[in-house]
Amino acid sequence: MNGTRRLRPAGERGLLIETPDDEDVHALATWLRAGTHGHRLVEIVPGPATVLVVGEPGTLADLARELERTAPFARAPEDAGPVTEVKVVYDGVDLDAVCAHSGLTRREVVEQHTGALSRVDYFGFSPGVWYANGVPGVLRVPRMDTPRTRVPEGAVAIANEYTSIYPGGTPGGWRIIGRSVSPSLWDPERTPPNLIDVGDRVRFVAVAP
């Protein structure tokens, strides 16, 4: 597809579009939602350098033909997307481990995390878990070798280039550096259940316990 994207079938009602990178994912997902096929698609699921599209076979066939004819999409500017501020108490159980790995003090870790503006690339392994890309290089730490079996609700965590907030009740292997004291962004009883979406940006703000 234009030398940059590949289309792969994903079952009878799925089409997996592989993209060069996460930047292209945002542009493609936006085009799909706004395009002529958007209302006919059951679901559009952005992922790491991929977009999964779910719909009826006929719709997917029409979409595939259109994608083959369509030039690369314009990418959104870096300052595009609404910004959600999250208040955080930085007292996480892994904060000292992150300090040891990065060579930073606690204060410097907090400054690095709050100084970055991270963008939600996609949703992950559990409902309400989003992956926001933007953790500064000096602060990037690997996932834990052995994940925790349960992470408390509101835990603010980092792993490699990503940061997120755990919705609670799930296992997790990211490094917990704090806890959100802002209203929850995820509530399965709410419509919509998630107050943040792919392409939105997140700014963390340090507050006293």
3-state DSSP helix/strand/coil percent for the chain, to nearest 5? 25, 35, 45
d(C-alpha 101, C-alpha 83), whole Å: 29
**pLDDT score for 28:** 83
Q: Strand 155-159 and strand 148-151: pairing?
A: unpaired
Q: Confidence band (pLDDT; 50, 70, 90) for 80?
A: low
- Phi and psi at 98, nearest 5°, equal -65, -40
Average of per-residue pLDDT across 84-111: 98
**Model pTM above 0.75:** yes
CB-CB contact of 4 with 73 (8 Å): no
Task: Give the tens place of pLDDT for each residue, 174-205.
Answer: 999 999 999 999 888 888 888 888 889 999 99
On the question of pLDDT at 1 being above 50, the answer is no
Which tokens is 89 given? 């108490």
Please name each of the domains of the chain with its CATH number.
Answer: 6-69 (3.30.1360.40), 83-206 (2.40.100.10)
Task: Give the tens place of pLDDT for each residue, 38-56.
Answer: 678 888 888 888 899 998 8
CB-CB contact of 168 with 187 (8 Å): no
